[in-house]
A and B are shown apart, each in its own frame.
Chain A
């Protein structure tokens, strides 16, 4: 059984794509589509890594990241931020709030896998 990753994203097609890529690579994938209840999902799944979209219904990915880093239980979870906006200031905000890595949509499938492996310590 591979490591577990939690995908927080609201576009159904993108969920489908990322889930497919990751599970084919041996990850166990959980998904969650709502910003407001995302923190509960993190606590419930206690994942090895998090893929977090910025534009979420209910609550933005930045807010969720801030909460994650503020809570000792989740402060160390590696987080890969995804955004479709990809302007410079978006990246800066993500860095400041403590995102492990930051990627702009559309992304390369291979790159997502590489980055996830890196931030979870090889595997």
Chain B
């Protein structure tokens, strides 16, 4: 006999094991060893979260009550999987092309990035999923109590058990579901753990089945006789109900938030679908293989037992402690994996469509000014996960763990299935509009709530027996289970029929009667023709967006290095240097898509819109997606490629021209500059030497004046040195003294050599020694010269009251960079182009004490060393990035 304490121990050990698996999976993916994570089999196994505790335990109960009808729950998904080519393939392609993060995001994105729809679907999903989570908690509590009863004692406090299970699941989900903001919203650790759980529950159910067939009965033939003798065999097939159930489970398979998460969001490769299309139905076949044998044997030996727990009570009846334990873990796996994925999916939706929009609009400063968005997003996800599980527990607590919960599975399915018309319509019908989708969703949801959800609470709820029998206020045709007086339908079939008919009707009518906004047309075309539009239409007209503002915002959402890489890549594609590409429509579209991976399409669109401003879609863009112009487009695509090439060349020319113009102005200023730089110290030298020559001076005055002469002579010398240094570097005649060294030493040397006090304000320097331990093979003296220059510049020009300089080492794209970022006002964009040119000192003479040659020398040195130096915009203060030589 299994002791209750042993059970607790085993479940905790199992949970610990899952933690390890998830942690390991995460690490594999992170360190780039996760190739096997893309294996179709992992994907297939992760789909098994469709089989929750409701199917693990409930299928047997279902069979005991209604015979083979339980099969419908598996037939729906099987149809969807087998027909993957038509719907799933399109969904997955769209999901990847548009960086869809959830089902709410899909609907919102399809209908013009409408946040209203996002909120609607999110609410619907939360209301539909909460009872389901409660159901999972109940199944865990029930299975615990079965063991407790066996041990002679009842489960002391089922509510407490449910509470702690919910807390544990929340912790697991927060830990592995929100470790970071993946731009693709994928969770490798979680998927790995779920795949393991999928195996556990399958093995458990098969083990019980084999035990029942060969251990209890005398083999297959004996079981068939038992089945024929049992009442299960006598239930007849009800056509309409079967059809409805198959439709419902197929719809739910597509629209359940957790299924959408694993099917679409976590999908990394379309090939996974091809395998899953036969492997997952096979998995479900195995899951259902022994359901009937277990049911009939259960009914025979435990006629008074709860059929929902036969999977557990039959092995216990035969004193098979180990087997029962395995079954318990199977049920536990089914419950936990469902809850974890559902919580991740719901928290993404709640956070992206409800919390973030509210937070962003509350911060009137706009997206660029809104602080570290990543932290806010993560926090809101974590809060949402806790909130979702809290709701599930509350529902369980309020419904008192009653029998009523058992039927909630189908009710829940029917609720989320209301998204189906908008989803399928959105995928295949260009004419579907936001108004239609909103109408359909609202009406379908209302009918579902009125005809199915509220009556499920029984007399305790709003739907008393009287309302059910006579309709509200005695209005007969509004009876919740007999609309328009059509009686005799099964309540579930009735509710699904009417909600779907009215939902679809309103959706179609609303779409036909309303006029889509431009952005809806655009998104509609991209969704419906996803396979044709590999090059998607443009979403933004060229605005006067400030590239730097966009970079600041992107850094806060995607993280600094990812955002910089994206901007740099785009700059390079446009043929420009640096990190600030032109804000072409193409670039805005790419940026928005990247951002939507983190915060959802609607929010990303709103954030980019805040910065870019103005209407997003022009008439030209619309023309581009209209069917009529499709052919012309194809003809002109070659021309387009050419004109793009031309545009790129023009951009390069324009940039070169700008540079030349400003260089020529500088050349002009050069003589004037050099004259000024030489004459100023000479003025002091001449004036004081004349004074000294006249004699008759006090000793201290003499000393003071000769001191000035000396200082100015040194200044002149330094200027000439710099000029010579630069011309030698430019002429390429410099000999490099290459030696081995360490970055730490070079930085140490530079920091102590650079003067860091100006006007009595010391510059405080922040370094990260742990990252500086980098071996170098270069001319370390020259490198130190560059560092000294940058530190001295920060000390001279940083205009903060408490000047600070952060020196950090970053690795990006296989190269190591040393970033020097101060906390002053930085360098305005128009000047960023010229600071590396000679004599391009930006401020006045007095402050600088140099001739404006420092950065020009730095640039020459770094290019000689095989590295580089660039200005890094969008860091708050002035920021220079030194790319170390390889």
Contacts and interface: CB of A to CB of B under 8 A. Distances in A.
Real binding pair: yes
Interface of A: 10-11, 13-14, 16-18, 20-21, 55, 57, 84-87, 104-110
A29 to B, nearest CB: 14
Contact of A109 (B691, B708, B712, B846): B691
Contacts of A87: 671-672, 675
Contacts of B680: 11, 14, 84, 105
A60 B672 CA distance: 15
Interface stretch (B41-49, B107-115, B681-689, B737-745): B681-689
B676 interface: yes
Interface residues of B, number: 21
10 contacts: A10-B844, A11-B680, A11-B846, A17-B683, A17-B687, A20-B691, A84-B683, A86-B679, A106-B683, A106-B687
B618 interface: no
A47 B418 CA distance: 88
Contacts of A20: 691
A13 B684 contact: yes
A106 B691 CA distance: 14
Interface string B826-864: 000000000000000000111000000000000000000
Given A10-B845, A108-B690, A16 B675 contact: no
A50 B712 CA distance: 26
A105 B677 CA distance: 11
B808 to A, nearest CB: 33
Nearest to B690: A109
Nearest to B847: A57
A55 B677 CA distance: 12
Nearest to B684: A13
A17 B845 CA distance: 19
B846 A10 contact: yes
B686 A84 contact: no
Given A10-B846, A20-B691, A87-B672, 17 more contacts: A11-B684, A13-B684, A13-B688, A14-B680, A14-B687, A55-B844, A84-B675, A84-B680, A84-B683, A85-B672, A105-B682, A105-B683, A106-B685, A106-B687, A108-B686, A109-B690, A109-B691
A85 B675 CA distance: 6
A49 to B, nearest CB: 18
A18 B672 contact: no
Interface in B673-730: 675-676, 679-680, 682-688, 690-691, 708, 711-712
A4 B672 CA distance: 32
Contact of B676 (A13, A16, A84): A84
Nearest to A109: B690
| Chain B CB within 10 A, most for which of A17, A18, A107 | A17
Contacts of B676: 55, 84-85
A17 B682 contact: no
A84 B673 CA distance: 9
Nearest to A90: B672
A48 B687 CA distance: 23
Contacts of B690: 108-110
Contact of B687 (A10, A55, A57, A109): A109
Interface in B624-683: 671-672, 675-676, 679-680, 682-683
Instruction: Provide the main secondary structure of the chain A interface.
Output: loop
Given A13-B712, A84-B675, A86-B675, A21 B691 contact: yes
B688 A17 contact: yes
A58 B398 CA distance: 73
Nearest to B675: A85
Please indicate which of the listed interface residues B675, B687, B844 has the most CB atoms of chain A within 10 Å of its own CB: B687
B708 A13 contact: yes
B212 to A, nearest CB: 94
B687 A21 contact: yes
Nearest to B712: A13
A121 B812 CA distance: 71
Contacts of A86: 675, 679
Nearest to A112: B687
> 9 shortest A-B CB distances, which residue pairs?
A17-B687, A13-B684, A84-B679, A106-B686, A105-B683, A106-B683, A57-B844, A84-B676, A106-B682
A20 B679 CA distance: 20
A15 to B, nearest CB: 10
A87 B669 CA distance: 11
Contacts of B845: 10-11, 55, 57
Contacts of A104: 679
A110 B690 CA distance: 9
A107 B686 contact: yes
Contacts of A110: 690
Instruction: Give the one of A14, A86, A104, A107 with max B CB within 10 A.
Output: A14
Contacts of A14: 680, 683-684, 687
A104 B712 CA distance: 18
A110 B679 CA distance: 18
Contacts of A16: 684, 708
A17 B690 CA distance: 10
A15 B682 CA distance: 14
Nearest to B672: A85
Interface string B538-565: 0000000000000000000000000000
A106 B708 contact: no
Contact of B684 (A17, A57, A85): A17
A11 to B, nearest CB: 6
A123 B19 CA distance: 96
Which of the listed residues B680, B683, B686, B708 has the most CB atoms from chain A within 10 Å of its own CB? Answer: B683
A9 to B, nearest CB: 10
A29 B844 CA distance: 25
Contacts of B682: 105-106
Contacts of A106: 679, 682-683, 685-687
A37 B316 CA distance: 96
Contacts of B675: 84-87
A85 B672 CA distance: 6
A16 B711 CA distance: 14
A87 B674 CA distance: 12
Nearest to B843: A57
Contacts of B671: 87
A17 B687 CA distance: 6
Nearest to B688: A17
A101 to B, nearest CB: 17
A20 B688 CA distance: 9
B839 to A, nearest CB: 13
Contact of B846 (A57, A84, A108): A57
A118 to B, nearest CB: 19
Contacts of B712: 13
Contacts of A107: 683, 686-687
A77 to B, nearest CB: 23
Contacts of B844: 10, 55, 57
B690 to A, nearest CB: 5
Contacts of B711: 13
B328 to A, nearest CB: 81
Contacts of B684: 11, 13-14, 16-17
A17 B684 CA distance: 7
A51 B686 CA distance: 18
Nearest to B694: A109
Contacts of B846: 10-11, 57
A68 B846 CA distance: 25
Nearest to A86: B675
A14 B705 CA distance: 11
A71 B451 CA distance: 88
B852 to A, nearest CB: 14
B688 A105 contact: no
A55 B669 CA distance: 14
